Structure 1
Amino acid sequence: MAIIKAPIGRRGFLAGTAGLTLASGGIGLFGSGRAEAKAPMLGTKQPGWYRFKIGDFEGTIVSDGRLDLGKATDQFPDAPVEEIQAIMDREFLPVAPMMLEQNALIVNTGEKLVLFDSGMGSAKLFGPESGRLMASIKASGIDPATIDAVILTHAHLDHCWGIMADDGSRNFPNAQIYMSQADFDFWTDEGKLSAEGFLPTFVEGARRNLLPNQDRMVFVEDGKEVLPGIQAIFTPGHTVGHVSYVITSNGQSFLNVGDVVHHYALLFENPQWEFAFDTDPKQAAATRVKLFEMATSEQLVMLGYHFPFPGIGHIRKAQKGFDYVPMAMDLS
C-alpha cells in the first residue's frame, strides 16, 4: 500500500514531539521544563565592521546603520506594484518599511588610509538606526584622525553629512576630501535653499559639511586615478556628478558602485526602474545598465553602499536583468 505523506506544519510537528516529552519523564527536546531565571532584554546594537583583502590592500566595511525609506512602492513610483510585492515576498522582505544598509568602505593601500562616504552624521531623517559610523570605525581599530582621504561618491545626506561633527569640528581632521566638481557645485548652490521638496534640506546639510572643507577639496576626473589604485568612473543620474570607483591591487579589482543601485533585489532584476531620489531618473537607469554590463564583462566584485551588510558580492546576467550574489564572509 502506498503511503501518502502530507506536508508537516508547525502544529503537526509540535503534536508529534509531545510524545517524546512524556516518554522521557518530562524532559523534552528543548529543555527540562523547570523554571529558569529570566535574562533581561538588552536592546542594544553593536558597531558593525568587516575586514577583507583587495589584492595587497586591506579593506574594512564600517556600518553607519540602516535607513528607513518607507514604502518600496513609493521609492519606485513607476514600477508595477504587484511586481514589487512579488519580489519582496520572494526575498522574505516587507514592502514597508524598505530598509537600506549603509556600508562605508575604508581602504588601507599601505600608503594611504581612505574612507569612501561618511554616512548620515547625527541626522535621523530616515529613522533612528543611522549614526553608527564613528563607533564602527573606532570598533574596527581605526583612529579617524589617521584617515588621509574621504572620497565621496556623491553629496547626498547619507554620504557626506558625517564629515563634520555637531560642534563644528572635523570628524576626520587630517583628511582631504575628494569628489566631483559637478556635485560640489550642485549641492552647495545657495539658490536651491528656496526650492521645493527635499532639495533645501539636502543642500543645507551639504553646505554645512562641504563648505568648511573647501581648502582641502580635490575634484576628481573621469577615468583618472584619484590615488594610486583608485580610479574614478563618472556615473551620473542619481546625482549630476555621481562617481563610482574601481579599486585595484595585485590583479584584484573591486567596483564601489555608490548609489548607482540601491536595492539588491529590485534593481538588479529591473535595472531600468526609476528611483525617487534620482536627480535624473532616466539617466540613472541608463547608467545603471551600462555599469552592470561593465561589471559582468570584467567580472568585478561589487561593493554596495546600500546592499545587505557587508555589501560585497558578484553580479551576473540573468534571464531577466541581472542577479546579485553575495560573497561568503570570511570570519577567520
Structure 2
Amino acid sequence: MRLGNVFAIGLIAVTGMASPDMHGSAKKVGFQAPGFYRITVGEVEVTVLSDGTVPLPMDQLLTHTTPALVDHTLTASFIKEPYATSVNCFLLNFGSRLVLIDTGAGLTLGPTLNHLMANLRASGYEPDQIDDIFLTHMHIDHEGGLTSNGIRAFPNAVLHADGREADYWLNPENEKRALDSAARHPSDQQAKFVENNFVETRKAIQPYIDAAHFKWFHGGEELLPGLRAISAAGHTPGHTMFALESDGARILFWGDIVHVAEVQLTTPQATILFDSDPTQARAERFKMLKEVGSQRDLIAGSHLPFPGVGHIRLSQQDFTFLPLNFIGEPSNDK
C-alpha cells in the first residue's frame, strides 16, 4: 500500500473525515493572504502595504531597449507578459507619529489594485490614525488612494510633496498643454498618459489643498527626525526618495528608480514610457544602483515584487536584487 493511501486511511480513522483529495467539492478561495509585511529599522517599525498588482505590457512600455530583448529577459526569469507590477506603499511608525509613503492607485488603474485600505486595516491601523503622507511623486499609482469619491481618505493626515513636483503637476497651464498635446496626437501613449495624470492628480490633491492639509518640501530637507528627502528627478520633475535612519540602521525608499527589476538591473539603460526625462531617469538609476550596491544600503522599491525590500548586489556587468530574508514573529507559546 502506498504511503499516500496509508495517510488517507489514517486520517479517516482518527478524525472520521475523508481527506480533501477524496472529494472534489472544495471551492477555490481565489484571494491571497493580507498584503502587509513588517520589519524594524532601528527604533522605527516599517510596514510594507500592498495596493495590489497591475498587469502591464512591459515589452511595449520599456524604452531604450527592444520588445524582443524585454520578452527574452522576462522569459529567462520565468515571467510571462503582461508583467504583474507590484504597487507598494510604506507605513512608518515612529512611536509618536504614523507616516505613510505613497497611497497606491485607488480606483484609477483597474480592479487588481485599490487594496491599500484593506491591508492597512489588516495590519492593525485605521486611516484616521495617519499623521503625514509623503509622496515620492505625483503619478496616479502613488496618489490615487488619497481620496475616495472626492473625499480625503486620510482625514487627519497632512499631505507632503516636493515643491518642483507640485509646481509641475498642479500648474493649470501645464495641464492645458498636456490636454492639447493629447488631442493633437491621439495615438501617442505617452501623451495620453500625461493628460490622464494631470486630471487625476488634480482630483487627488485638491481636497487636501482645500482643507489646508497640503505642504511641500525640498530635496535634502529633514522632514522628521531621522527621515530625509533626497531629490531623484528624472522619472518626474520632483521625483523623491526618502532615507530613514534610526539607531544606526538605514533604509532608502527609492520610489520608481526601478520598474522592472528583471530587465532594468541587467539593462539599466532601459527606461519606461512614464519617465518625464528618460535621460535623467537613466542617469539617476545608474547612480543609485552603484551607490546602494557599494554601500550595502537596505532599499524599498515601489514596484519591486512585494514586499520589495532587500539589497542590491553590484557586479562588474550588472546588478542583482536580493530580497530580504523573511523573519517570522516570535512564538506566543509559553
TM over 0.5: yes
Tell whether the 8 Å contact from 1:57 to 1:108 is kept in structure 2 after alignment: yes
Q: State whether structure 2 residue 145 is matched by structure 1 residue 159.
A: no
- Relative to its length, the structure with more helix (as a share) is 2
Alignment partners' CA distance in 2, 1:181 and 1:30: 65
1:207 to 202, 205, 210: 202
The count of aligned residue pairs is: 304
Alignment match, 2:319? 322
Name the SS for the 1:269 alignment partner.
coil
Q: What do the CA deviations read for 1:213-253 (whole angstroms, capped 9, x no partner)? A: 12222212211211111111100111011000111100010
Q: State whether structure 2 residue 162 is matched by structure 1 residue 180.
A: yes
* Percentage of pairs with the same residue: 33
Tell whether the 8 Å contact from 1:188 to 1:204 is kept in structure 2 after alignment: no
Letter in 2 for 1:279: S
- Relative to its length, the structure with more strand (as a share) is 2
Alignment match, 1:106? 91
Q: Any stretches of 5+ residues in structure 2 without a counterpart?
A: 10-18, 183-191, 330-334
Name the SS for the 2:103 alignment partner.
coil
Q: State whether structure 2 residue 106 is matched by structure 1 residue 121.
A: yes
Deviation at 1:90? 2.1
Residues 319 and 164 (structure 1 numbering): CA distance in 2 closer, same or farther, change over 3 Å? same
Residues 305 and 26 (structure 1 numbering): CA distance in 2 closer, same or farther, change over 3 Å? closer
Letter in 2 for 1:254: I
Tell whether the 8 Å contact from 1:314 to 1:325 is kept in structure 2 after alignment: yes
Letter in 1 for 2:41: I
1:232 to 212, 229, 236: 229
Tell whether the 8 Å contact from 1:121 to 1:163 is kept in structure 2 after alignment: yes
Residues 305 and 29 (structure 1 numbering): CA distance in 2 closer, same or farther, change over 3 Å? farther
2:126 to 143, 151, 154: 143
Tell whether the 8 Å contact from 1:101 to 1:309 is kept in structure 2 after alignment: yes
Alignment match, 1:83? 69
Alignment partners' CA distance in 1, 2:283 and 2:83: 24
Deviation at 1:129? 0.7
Letter in 2 for 1:209: A
Name the SS for the 2:125 alignment partner.
coil
TM-score by length of 2: 0.86
Alignment partners' CA distance in 2, 1:147 and 1:245: 18
Q: State whether structure 2 residue 256 is matched by structure 1 residue 282.
A: no
Letter in 1 for 2:167: D
Deviation at 1:186? 1.4
Letter in 2 for 1:183: E
Tell whether the 8 Å contact from 1:244 to 1:257 is kept in structure 2 after alignment: yes
Letter in 1 for 2:127: P
Residues 36 and 53 (structure 1 numbering): CA distance in 2 closer, same or farther, change over 3 Å? same
Q: What do the CA deviations read for 1:50-88 (whole angstroms, capped 9, x no partner)? A: 111011100101110001112x21111331334323321
Deviation at 1:298? 2.3
Alignment match, 2:186? none
**RMSD between superposed Cα atoms in Å:** 2.0
2:23 to 31, 36, 47: 36
Name the SS for the 1:316 alignment partner.
strand
2:52 to 44, 65, 77: 65
Tell whether the 8 Å contact from 1:152 to 1:159 is kept in structure 2 after alignment: yes
Q: What do the CA deviations read for 1:85-109 (whole angstroms, capped 9, x no partner)? A: 3321221101x20111111000011
Alignment partners' CA distance in 2, 1:261 and 1:35: 46
Alignment partners' CA distance in 2, 1:29 and 1:260: 54
Deviation at 1:189? 2.5
Alignment match, 1:130? 113
Residues 38 and 201 (structure 1 numbering): CA distance in 2 closer, same or farther, change over 3 Å? same
Q: What do the CA deviations read for 1:180-222 (whole angstroms, capped 9, x no partner)? A: 1111121122232423122221111100111221222221221
Q: Any stretches of 5+ residues in structure 1 without a counterpart?
A: 1-23
Q: State whether structure 2 residue 304 is matched by structure 1 residue 307.
A: yes
TM-score by length of 1: 0.86
Residues 30 and 237 (structure 1 numbering): CA distance in 2 closer, same or farther, change over 3 Å? farther
Alignment partners' CA distance in 1, 2:103 and 2:133: 8
Letter in 1 for 2:98: L
Tell whether the 8 Å contact from 1:47 to 1:132 is kept in structure 2 after alignment: no
Alignment partners' CA distance in 2, 1:29 and 1:269: 49
Letter in 1 for 2:261: Y
